Structure 1
Amino acid sequence: MNSKVDDRVPVLIVGGSLVGLSASLFLGRLGVKHLLVEKHAGTSHHPRGRGNNVRTMELFRVAGVEQLIREAASVLAENHGILQAETLAGMDQEWLFKEIDPGGALARFSPSGWCLCSQNDLEPVLLHRARELGGDLRFGTELVSFEQDADGVTTVLRSRESGEEQTVRADYLIAADGPRSPVRERLGIGQTGPGDLFHNVSITFRAKRLADVVGDRRFIACYLTNPQGAGALLPVDNREQWVFHAPWHPDRGETLEEFTDERCVAHIRAATGVPDLEVEITGKAPWHAAERVAERYGSGRVFLAGDSAHEMSPTGAFGSNTGIQDAHNLVWKLAAVLNGWAGPGLLDTYGQERQPVARATSARASARSAEHRHPGYDAVPGTGRQSNVLAVALGYRYPAGAVVGPDQDGPAVPDRFEANGEPGSRAPHLWVHRAGVRQSTLDLFEDSLVLLTGPGGGSWHAAAQRLAGRLGIPLEAYRISSDPQHELAPEPGSDWAEAYGTKADGAVLVRPDGFVAWRADGAVADAEAVLGDVLRVVLRR
């Protein structure tokens, strides 16, 4: 490898799709200089990966882009639910579920909500904001090779337009380079899981009269079961732009070339039940549903995120959300190590925390595809564990990692969602008032550790302030009470201590990613010693 180094960056991101762009956004928010390279010339043109769950939208809220994303997604804002029908025009139809959040119950648990935003609309928002925050994002640039040593990673990058090569030295590399990740293969990291599940061809098309057939059924997707027209129909603009996922069987020797425009038009007409529907095919893209998880989430200074770390069936959009949440978990740890307030061992907790979540979530995604009888997937539905999707979206937890006192025997993804503030779980949402401004407790968690205490937690509060200075750790301390001298005022009727599973003189330490790192039930004789020990364990100092 060329010994001459042309550029140096703390973090190099390989891959500029949803996960890579999210990693860039999160790094930019924390002020970490980085470079992102993506081999394609621009962001995605194909409307895919559209479901952004409530946890992902919470992360985008804290990162300051939630509203921009909702504006980009406004055309599908009224689309809810999954419909199943023999044909769209026929009478045999049933809603698998009609509302994502029936009755608005989610507002008890989150300041955000689900958002249907196609990848081709979401990626430009992330790209623009990441660049505004100082990120160096280069499209049409590919990773040619990399070598790592004890101090960093030396990479060779190539412009696909000019062929010019550049050697860049990075402290760390994030591989968000997709399911067939060259970086993962270069590291020799294998995968576990059932493997390929089914294959589809995604067909984009224009059909002006289809909106009249759909009528007021504003679905996210409609699964169509007519054998001559099996597939999934997804709206792009609810008017004339649509996507159809048609089953594809390469295992039976079926080739992509067989999906001619004429065949696709006939298939869509059979699926919709409109024999003379005017259909203009505008694009085709093959995709593969699989269930695989990497055996390791990194090696040395190179880390896998998103599809390079895990593949999941698309039903429920768990894959893209899990990938964005990977990036969020990894980025605060990289920032902490690069800025010197955590030990390098903190980075070992990335895979320790995220891999079990991916394994459990990918199994849920496959089960959901079976339950919905996704076109092309022949698996038999199981026992119906899919009812509580909130447990996957908000309830995932870390039984081991940068956490003190978690339930180590509990599952990474529970069957039921409970917001109880236990160590290793997402910190509960509560509305509080800070200097007269109403905000969620989740808005407090991004660029520092946060210690929350109640009116009787003065010793914890003082200990946190002293330790922040003495240890050089970004650690904010907030007291939640109606006392005007305290930093946060609760909403009338809310009980902070009850929500977080502690007492008025207890304390809860929350990580920058909004997960509870540790919890104390009450006051102790030497709060500074106890909290100091916890910080050293969590941050691997």
Structure 2
Amino acid sequence: MDVPVIVAGGGPVGLTTAFELQSRGVRTLLLERNPSTTRHPKMDVTNGRSMELFRRMGIAEKIRDVAVPRGNPMDVSWVTRLNEWELARFRYPDVESWREEIRANNDGSQPLEPYMRLSQVVLEPLLRGLLEESPLVEMRFGWAVEGFDDDGEGVTVHLREVATGRTERQRCALLAGCDGGGSIIREKLGYAWDGQYNVARFFMVHFRSEARDLLQRFGIAWHYQSPAGSTLIAQDDAEIWTLHCMLPEGADAAAIDPRQLAFDALGREFPIEVIQANPWSPHLVLANGYGRGRVWMAGDAVHQVIPTGGYGMNTGIGDAVDLAWKYAAILQGWGGPALLDSIEAERRPVGRAIVDASRLHMGVRLKIAQAYAPIIHDDTPEGAAARDAYGALIAELGNAENESRGIELDHRYRQSPIVCHECDEPEWRLRDYVPSTWPGMRAPHLFLEDGSAIFDRLGPWFTLVRFTDASAQPLLDAARERGVPVDLLDIRDAHARRIYERDFVLIRPDQHVAWRGDAMPEDPMAVIDRIRGARS
């Protein structure tokens, strides 16, 4: 083998996969066909679940240091146009205020980390820079994966240097396909998309401007939405902005003047430097397979969604962590044959959920658009009445796309072959995370009596949380015999025990629950074999 793992794709999902692998001691080669990190803004929020995972990697605060200032809010505002009237505003706290809310509501329903406003243009260079410091990671930008051969013993990957055409072969034990919507890995595996292509047509104008008298006329906001079909995203609350405008049917994108489009959408002319402008179309699709053998995929290679909700990249971060710890377990020798199969069993239902949720949120926006009438732009009593009614409709329809904790935190691995399942599944809600340690769920975040976060106390691999004085030795001995790394975490905290529901809770490296009980299992070895993928 030339290298244990090759990661195809150097976007946020590929970079996160490589970071997680190297944090587990796995030497990795990352290949990206583009010469540098992205110039396109794409994702503009990192949700609480992704920030929890980045915190576990030790880089959450480094990410916040390059993001929108911690003191800026995440408000979403609806306006007729920026030079006219505000219709409705959904207010969301800044990072520090959100931290206070999380600590005040210590009932297990909150994420450990607040959301973070952050453009992908900023995130990718940061992750790349962190990986450049790792002796375990080699990165080759400007190198494309052309194909691969999985012979059951390893994977031979065919590479091409884009600038020169020079070709090369590299041999690895495992290949991770994080190469985006046009994935060569998915194509070579023979998987197709299920779902709807080209849901709508948009034109993006990514620009620089200090005209905050217009662009922040109603104060700082993350998004300014217009029912006429445009969304303005504040990328840094200072000078970088991204405008997305829905194109009418039959519009010729090639004939669009990006500056004029921005002037028309936002209400007047203003100083502007266009950085990037292009048409684009979102999709609502899910791959009909996530991988097989020694080749598995994550991120946009397996799911693509409308940006409503910000689910694409954030789900990809979860995919990356899931794939990486399982690859590391295989390479360490204690991961069984069902461990790789669990990637699809666990993550594809999550992909289906975000496609469905994204479609649901888009439906809300379409209802708002369908109710649009030009009278809302009139400076008349009739126009004012129409604006009041329209604003009330927007408020009534709500902003679930930025409030759906169930989609973001409550991923349940119901069909997983590496979870010790139970009946009596707790209620699932779109907007709320219902805290539970039902096996397959993400464990609840809590602050303990000493002020520490329970997630910060978990070990790097499996952690057996014990709330009782009873012996945990049978399970620990079984894990030791199989070579499975399990840390014991003793907690004597009545509030935490109530939220965690059992005296013993076994938590995986990705903070999901693998097993729980009020006593040691009758067959501890069977539990260990199941969670390591040795039996289904």
TM-score category, normalised to shorter length = 0.7 to 0.9
Contact 1:53 1:114 in 2 (8 A): yes
Moved more, 322-331 or 95-104: 95-104
- Give the secondary-structure state (helix, strand or coil) at the position aligned to 2:199: strand
Q: Deviations over 1:16-53 (max 9, x none)?
A: 00100010111011111111100001111232301111
Q: Distance in 2 between matches of 1:163 and 1:540?
A: 41
SS, match of residue 335 in structure 1:
helix
Give the Cα–Cα distance (whole angstroms) in 1 for the partners of residues 529 and 122 of structure 2.
42
Return 5+ residue gaps in structure 2 as ranges.
Answer: 372-392
Aligned to 2:237: 238
Asked if 1 retains the 8 angstrom alpha-carbon contact of 2:83 and 2:217, the reply is no
Q: Distance in 2 between matches of 1:44 and 1:269?
A: 26
Shift of the 344–223 alpha-carbon distance from structure 1 to 2, 3 Å rule, reads same
Deviations 1:194-237 (A, max 9, x none): 333112222112332244552452211111234xxx41111133
Question: Are 1:222 and 2:216 counterparts?
Answer: no
Q: Name whichever of 60-69 and 382-391 sits farther off.
A: 382-391
Partner of 1:515: 512
C-alpha distance 424-364 of structure 1, shift in aligned 2 (>3 A): same
The residue type paired with residue 463 of structure 2 is: V
Over residues 403-457 of structure 1, what are the superposed CA-to-partner deviations in whole Å (9 max), with x where a residue is unaligned?
Answer: 1124587788756411111111111122348xx8x5322124463111111133x
The CA distance in 2 between the partners of 1:408 and 1:189, in whole Å, is 34
Partner of 1:4: none
Give secondary structure in 2 for the equivalent of 1:354: helix
In 1: Cα distance, 2:523 partner to 2:424 partner: 21
* 2:271 is the counterpart of 1:278: yes
Measure, in 1, the Cα distance between the counterparts of 2:144 and 2:531: 36
Matched with 2:501 is: 501
SS of 2:237's equivalent in the other structure is: coil
- Determine which of 366, 381, 400 is the counterpart of 2:415: 400
Residues 1:342 and 1:130: Cα distance change in structure 2 (over 3 Å): same
C-alpha distance in 2 between matches for 1:235 and 1:51:
11
- Paired with 2:294 and 2:250, the residues of 1 have a C-alpha distance of 41
Where 2:465 maps in the other structure, the secondary structure is strand
Q: TM-score, normalised by structure 1?
A: 0.86
AA at the equivalent of 1:508? V
RMSD: 2.8
| Contact 1:464 1:476 (8 Å CA) reproduced | no
Taking a change above 3 Å as real, the CA distance of residues 374 and 539 of structure 1, as seen in their structure-2 partners, is: farther
Q: Shift of residue 370 of structure 1?
A: 2.5
Match of 1:295 among 269, 285, 288: 288
Contact 1:56–1:325 (Cα < 8 Å) also in 2: yes
Contact kept in structure 1, 2:64 and 2:70, CA below 8 Å: no
- State the secondary structure of the residue aligned to 2:283: strand
User: 2: CA distance between counterparts of 1:311 and 1:395?
Assistant: 20
Matched residue, 2:377: none
- Aligned match of 2:378: none
The alpha-carbon distance between structure 1 residues 174 and 238, as it changes in their structure 2 partners (threshold 3 A), is: same
Q: 1:34, 1:498 → 2: CA distance?
A: 42
Q: Which residue in 2 is equivalent to 1:419?
A: 435
1:134-176 CA deviation, whole Å, 9 max, x = no partner? Answer: 2111100001221111112111111122322211011111111
CA distance in 2, matches of 1:356, 1:205: 37
1:73 has 2:67 as partner: yes
Name the SS for the 2:180 alignment partner.
coil
1:83-94 equivalence runs, <5 A? 83-94=77-88
**What is the alpha-carbon distance in structure 2 between the residues aligned to residue 196 and residue 110 of structure 1?**
33
Question: Is 1:431–2:447 an aligned residue pair?
Answer: yes
**Equivalent pair of 1:14/1:37 in contact (CA under 8 Å):** yes
Give 1:60's aligned amino acid: F
| Structure 2 partner of 1:470 | 481
Counterpart selection for 1:389 from 404, 421, 443: 404
- Displacement of 1:375 in angstroms is 10
Q: Distance in 2 between matches of 1:76 and 1:373?
A: 32
1:459 pairs with 459, 471, 477, which one? 471
Matched residue, 1:449: 462
- 2:344 maps to what in 1? 351
CA–CA distance in structure 2, aligned partners of residues 530 and 100 of structure 1? 48
- Distance, in Å, in 2 between the alignment partners of 1:31 and 1:377 is 53
User: Residues 56 and 374 of structure 1: is their aligned pair in 2 closer, same or farther, counting only changes over 3 Å?
Assistant: farther
CA distance in structure 2 between the partners assigned to 1:191 and 1:342 by the alignment: 30
Match of 2:282, SS state, is: strand
**How far apart are the structure 2 equivalents of 1:215 and 1:384?**
23
Matched residues in 2 for 1:165 and 1:36: separation? 16
After superposition, give the CA deviation of every residue in 1:445-488 in whole Å (9 maximum; x if it has no partner).
463111111133x322x22432333221111112112xxxxxxx
Aligned residue-pair number? 503
After superposition, the C-alpha distances for 1:53-79 in whole angstroms (9 at most, x for unaligned) are 100000000101101000010447503
How big is the shift at 1:373? 4.1
**Aligned equivalent of 2:129:** 128
Q: After superposition, where does 1:89-104 map in structure 2 within 5 Å?
A: 89-99=83-93, 104=100
1:282-320 per-residue CA deviation (whole Å, 9 max, x = no partner) reads 221333211101111112211121011001110111111
Q: 1:271 to 1:189 in 2, by over 3 A?
A: same
Contact preservation (8 Å) 1:62, 1:446? no
2:255 to 258, 267, 277: 258
Question: How big is the shift at 1:258?
Answer: 1.6
Q: Distance in 2 between matches of 1:413 and 1:344?
A: 33
Percent of aligned positions with the same letter in both sequences? 28
- Structure-to-structure mapping, 1:165-244, within 5 angstroms: 165-215=167-217, 217-226=219-228, 230-244=229-243
Please say which of residues 100-109 and 439-448 is displaced more in the overlay: 100-109
